[in-house]
Chain A
Amino acid sequence: MAGPETPELAAAAVSGGADIVELGFPFSDPLADGPTIRRAAERALAQGMRTAACLECLRSTRARVDVPLVPMTYSALLEAYGWERFAEDAAGAGATSLIVADLPVDLRPELCRVQLVAPTSSDERIALAAEQTDGWLYLVTLTGTTGARSELSPELAPLVARARGLTEAPLYAGFGISTPAHAAAAAELADGVVVGSAALEAAREGTSGLERFVASLRAALN
């Protein structure tokens, strides 16, 4: 989640082995998020992390790391800022693409972004999302909100199998991937893993905690 410490944390994640860093732009009513990310958003908003500050944070983070940075947010922020202007200014501040958690593929098709598909998605919607997506397809591993889980979702394997039959796009799996073991198991199926809530928890112990955690994920994938 964007905040004053984000550039250092992003640098730590990259030095731990992260290939891409997602940067949350907080929203007051995040429907797709479980308690960890929701609380992080509440804290960020209390610190004044509104859209302009988040874009500034993105710019500072860009100056520290070379990997792609992907803002992740909700439609309300784009509606207020201006949909096109948001995409332009984020790109200008160093973003590579964008994730909008409550914007399904059939809304605002002109906004180029990473599309999400879920275990509940029909083949038709997976194909459409794959066609529209910007670079890679985000596979939501489970039917639910973000947050650490005790086990990797059994819904991932059938989702990957369906998606492979419909697209050549790289498939990155996220939601509920909390441990190196989950990451390794998910990476057996998908082309990459996205870790959110567990990384936020690790980041509570500062840059070294986050770097250690990301390194443990990296080691499990290698």
Chain B
Amino acid sequence: MSASPSVGLYGDYGGRYVPETLIPALDELSRGWDEASADATFRAELEELLERFAGRPTPLYEAARLAPPGKRIFLKREDLLHTGAHKINNAVGQALLAVRLGKRRIVAETGAGQHGVATATVCARMGLECVVYMGSEDMRRQAPNVDRMGLLGAEVRPVEFGTRTLKEATSESIRDWITNVETTYYLIGSCVGPHPYPAIVRELQAVIGREARAQILERLGRLPDAVVACVGGGSNAIGLFAGFLADEEVRLVGVEAEGAASLSSGRSSVLHGSRSSVLADGDGQVLDAHSISAGLDYPGVGPEHAHLRDTGRAEYVTASDAEAIAAFHKLATREGILPALEPAHALARALDLDAEATLVGLSGRGDKDLAEVLAR
């Protein structure tokens, strides 16, 4: 993706809409990332950690009992990774980058807690100080993940204002970074934020798409007709799509939660450092998102998704809470897999897609969502 070094635009989206204080740190990050990406030692270290610590490559699994008659559905099993979701791909890579930049203190935001747990895990592995900002409402809803982060040695700081969810946790992480920018690395969890974060996260998650493309070619002897992934901030989707962007015959379908559809019902705005499609009112004030799935409960989305929507390369649709729950049960009882509620949205749309062979990103496992599902 062509990203101009000064602003990092995806079409009209992206950029660096942040206080001036952060600009030198973003420049440093861009340079550091470019150098690291070109460094064979860095790449080898990343690959080794992904293989031996995180559990890559993940399998491609054909869900034959789930698929409707005459159709084939393949699941990219990111749920089988260490800590239970694709988030670890990004956390490992960015933590290695932080060490390379000489930053020993890591701040991160988390909503459901999956990115917070992945970051706490990697920080423990690398001996880094870890502070995770989490909305107090999310801490209440996702208590087991708060405990996990604590056991891993991270400090979880409650965010007690605004919606008390991911949006505020992200703002507070950025404020911490502004204040401690000399010593601290901000380990963002999705392909959002100021340039170069959307590009870094995309590259680190692109391993999903690279593996999946090779695996499905081997299995099917051809490319899938459609690739489907859920979209909150959009990191698992952009990582999976990255493998197929150049294959124009492959449909790319992003599935948002109905009550958090930044792409399907948002407008162009600026949130958390970049211009993208945002759930906002006519004055630019950011609206609350609502979804049963905490990981999709975010009013913004990565700028590259907004660009892919506008160019028509990817299409974005929604699934309701009820549809996600129904897909969760279907996968559980027909395939013996409890998916996270986030990819359950992708499954719901994949099941009624007019495509012969569909690849679905199963971005995380459902353990964290049992209470939510059982309460229905």
Contact = CB atoms under 8 A, between A and B. Distances in A.
Interface stretch (B14-22, B115-123, B128-136, B140-148): B14-22
Interface stretch (A58-66, A112-120, A195-203, A211-219): A112-120
B284 A80 contact: yes
Given A75-B275, A106-B16, A145-B179, 11 more contacts: A29-B272, A31-B171, A32-B178, A76-B286, A79-B270, A80-B281, A104-B18, A104-B19, A121-B23, A121-B24, A125-B24
B286 to A, nearest CB: 5
A78 B273 CA distance: 14
- Kindly name the residue among A102, A121, A144 whose own CB sees the greatest number of chain B CB atoms within 10 A: A102
Interface string B294-337: 00000000000000000000000000000000000000000000
Contacts of B218: none
A38 B162 CA distance: 10
B283 A51 contact: yes
A interface majority secondary structure: loop
B18 A102 contact: yes
Given A29-B167, A74-B270, A144-B178, A120 B25 contact: yes
A75 B181 CA distance: 22
Contacts of A32: 19, 178
B174 interface: yes
Given A116-B20, A122-B24, A27 B284 contact: yes
Interface residues of A, number: 43
A29 B170 CA distance: 10
B363 interface: no
A105 interface: yes
Given A42-B162, A51-B283, A80-B284, A29 B175 contact: no
B84 to A, nearest CB: 29
A39 B162 CA distance: 9
A117 B20 contact: yes
B280 interface: yes
Given A28-B286, A79-B270, A116 B19 contact: yes
